[in-house]
Amino acid sequence: MPHVKIKCFSGRTEEQKKKCAEKIAEDISEILGCDMESVSVAIEDVAQEDWKEKVWDKDLAADQDLLYKKPGYTYD
């Protein structure tokens, strides 16, 4: 039952979000060997000015050991 939560800057259309979620679900299903019906994908818009507080500090910096793909930027 994989669940993915994507956080990104605001501004994507509903169509872009749906297409992104579908593609990610397809890849997860194929790679992890599970049914598409088992996969869920959430997309949360985050204002650019809130990124450090709401995403970097809470998710990225706090969970470095869980990141299989780390970002190529930092906040110092």
CA–CA gap between residue 47 and residue 33 (Å, rounded): 34
Judge whether 2 counts as a catalytic residue: yes
Q: Which of 2, 8, 17, 24 is catalytic?
A: 2
Give 30: exposed, middle or buried? Use CB within 10 Å, 0-12, 13-18, 19+.
exposed
- 42 bridge partner residues: 5
* Residues belonging to the active site: 2
